């Protein structure tokens, strides 16, 4: 059954706890689960919760959404370092099961193609964690990205570079290019789990859930995905026209559908 489920919680903490529960259930119940992971400020609390759950990560395989081009893995702002600092160093995952695009690849097109091959070889992504940008992008698939795109190099918009400048200390230090999973790649995950918090994400969430499907709002393509869960706080849900219906639906789920 195709559906996008919108779960609205009073706080980001409560919404994140539901997302952590969904992931922990998969890790506990599925042999060799494959997780697609995201970086940035939104999933930090999620990763702290997963660490505290003390799950067994020995069989878990992970693929990250993206990485900056030109940053060494040890760079403070590389997403490889982010993932080890916030999650992998604190769980018993096997290093060989961790996959993150290389920002130092000499042959970027070949590296991107190889990344796609590794995802297929792992059996595909079971659950893809996503955030959403204020302009409605997922991963680093900026507005007007092809809705069928695969892992590739992308040029960041001025808006995205400005949004990320706080991590680099200044706008001028933010890289111009990234490697990102494509929208087509993301859509092949068997389940997507998107988190969004705060008023600044409210417009993007409303456009994604209730607006037209358009490359101007790349996340809107998730309306076509067979299994999406969107976990938001009240602030991020503030511009949803059907918010009351989403709350009612979640509160009245049959027992067998509950997480």
- CB burial of 146-158 (b: ≥16 within 10 Å; e: otherwise) equals ebebbbbbbebbe
Q: How confident is the model at residue 254 (pLDDT cuts 50, 70, 90)?
A: confident
CA distances (Å), 100 to each of 6, 97, 103, 151, in order?
29, 10, 9, 12
Number of domains in the chain: 1
Write out pLDDT tens, residues 67-92: 999 999 999 999 999 999 999 999 99
> Are the CB atoms for 137 and 149 separated by under 8 Å?
no
> Are the CB atoms for 151 and 112 separated by under 8 Å?
yes
Q: Give the range of the structural domain holding residue 30, as residue numbers without chain letter.
A: 3-257
What CATH number has the domain bearing residue 77?
Answer: 3.40.50.1360
CA atoms of 140 and 132, how far apart (whole Å): 10
| Of 115, 138, 118, nearest in space to 128 by CA | 138
The predicted structure's pLDDT at residue 1: 40
pTM, to two decimals: 0.95
Burial-class residue 92 by CB neighbours within 10 Å (0-12, 13-18, 19+): exposed
pLDDT above 90: percentage of residues in the chain: 93
Write out pLDDT tens, residues 222-246: 999 999 999 999 999 999 999 999 9
Q: How confident is the model at residue 3 (pLDDT cuts 50, 70, 90)?
A: confident
User: Which helix (H) or strand (E) is 67 found in, with range?
Assistant: strand 66-68
């Amino acid at each position: 059954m195709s559906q996008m489920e919108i779960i609205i919680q009073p706080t980001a903490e409560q919404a994140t706890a539901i997302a952590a529960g969904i992931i922990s259930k998969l890790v506990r119940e599925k042999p060799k689960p494959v997780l697609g992971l995201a970086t940035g400020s939104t999933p930090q609390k999620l990763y702290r919760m997963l660490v505290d759950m003390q799950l067994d990560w020995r069989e878990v395989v992970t693929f990250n959404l993206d990485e900056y081009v030109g940053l060494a893995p040890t760079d403070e702002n590389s997403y490889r370092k982010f993932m080890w600092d916030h999650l992998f160093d604190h769980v018993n995952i096997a290093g060989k099961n961790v996959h993150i695009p290389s920002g130092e690849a000499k042959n970027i097109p070949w590296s991107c193609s190889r990344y796609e091959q590794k995802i297929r070889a792992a059996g595909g992504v079971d659950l893809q964690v996503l955030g959403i940008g204020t302009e409605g992008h997922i991963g680093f698939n900026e507005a007007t990205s092809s809705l069928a795109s695969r892992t590739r190099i992308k040029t960041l918009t001025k808006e995205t570079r400005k949004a990320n400048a706080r991590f680099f200390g200044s706008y001028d230090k933010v890289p111009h290019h990234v490697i990102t999973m494509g929208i087509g790649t993301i859509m092949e995950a068997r389940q997507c789990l998107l988190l969004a918090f705060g008023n600044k994400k409210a417009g993007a969430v409303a456009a994604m859930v209730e607006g037209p499907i358009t490359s101007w709002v790349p996340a809107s393509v998730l309306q076509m995905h067979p299994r999406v869960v969107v976990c938001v706080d009240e602030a991020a849900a503030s511009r949803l026209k059907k918010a009351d219906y989403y709350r009612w639906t979640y509160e009245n789920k049959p027992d067998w559908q509950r997480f």
